[in-house]
Chains A and B, each alone.
Chain A
Amino acid sequence: MAAPKKAAASTAQDKTDGGSPPEFTREQELKALREMLLIRRFEEKAGQLYGMGAIGGFCHLYIGQEAVVVGMQMALKTGDQVITGYRDHGHMLATGMEANGVMAELTGRHGGYSKGKGGSMHMFSKEKHFYGGHGIVGAQVSLGTGLAFANHYRGNDNVSVTYFGDGAANQGQVYESFNMAELWKLPVIYVIENNRYAMGTSVSRASAQQDFSKRGASFNIPGQQVDGMDVRAVKAAGDEAAAWCRAGKGPFILEMQTYRYRGHSMSDPAKYRTREEVEKVRHDQDPIEQVRNRLLAAKVSEQDLKAIDAEVRDIVNASADFAQHDPEPDAAELWTDIYR
């Protein structure tokens, strides 16, 4: 198969097998650890609240995939936009949205980012340039291409980071968007979070081309496979893709090879994979443990790491408290925000 024409993109093997990615500074390692821990603890708490009936509807947890959004966010600058599908809590926290507002949206309260009218799958923040939170598989790919179109139209140097999964990668509008993005040289990074399962269907059962970095090949969009469990590899790939986009060279595809530990949603019978498979990834590749181990090896004390854990737990506990005590939206909110 033809490799992407633009050979500046490295091949998958370069990145995944070809040695370690660039080292992080201690400051970067600590930041990555804190951000990933915040997402993990937040999601664990969300799972608990769901079990208690405080969160309803659909709730898709991000546990296991934290390095993807945290590493990508470290490659971005203020003004870059982020958009994703329905497994979105991690993306929101990574962009700096408040845990209180996210958790209160999950419980359907007035203090949620969408005043309780969006729920788990539909939150937005203009301030943080987070454009949702979309429940139709693949729809965010066209929308994210539109964000990039707006950057191009305005002539700014912002980049749209458009996340979607290995399942959405089989939707038709993804390829309609790829075509336009390359045709018009739009600054968009397509981040395909390949967590190996589209709901209960494994990649091998759904995808004719399982190397998602090649999914843009027929449009000449360069792509790269990335170890999405290593936050340093994610950031390095994000830096490269962002530079490509900002240089006016058009879109870039990053296939993040990652894994979700929990079910597709809370009501997932998990018959499509073995417990051993999940345990093996957790044991061998956990993105948070990787950073923690490196920090310990670099002589950061257990105590310092525990302090980070404690700070994160406090934020998450406070958000859970807020989300359960904040009032439900006023009944009058039923009729607002339909038109402006």
Chain B
Amino acid sequence: MPYLAPANPEIQRPVSTTLIVLSVLLALFLNGLPWEGVWLMLRPDFVAVVMLYWCTHRPLRVGIGLSWAVGILADVADASLFGQHALAYTLLAFGGVALHHRLKMFDLRQQTTQVFGILALTYAVYALVHWQVNGYMVWPYFLGCLTSTLLWAPLSIMFQAARRMRVDRE
């Protein structure tokens, strides 16, 4: 691979497959915790944020196909229609892959605004499918989009710390 001089050297650190798989499983677990009422509305979509992180930082390893598969698992977990999460996560992954060069140039604050756009699209697609099939909308659902965006910065810092630890050990 022709290595361009990376703007942010952190990004080119190696990532183990275990970390990716574990983070996705952990995200599914966090989504599955017994959230109720207001907390359910405010719950960030952990799976979406984690998938977006890997799509922007490892676009060659985690791409649209894998996001789609994770979406199908999320559909089974949430008992939503088959393909509802999958469709949303496909678009999410495409957004991530398409914007990954740009995100590398940005700092966390600028990244967050970009990420908000992608997540808003994901949430809108999910809600749109629901609206088409069932004919009504629950507006507080979009609060989750804001909390998911707020999750981006802490998650990025955490993952980078995890990768740095691994590099230090080696």
Pairing of A with B: no
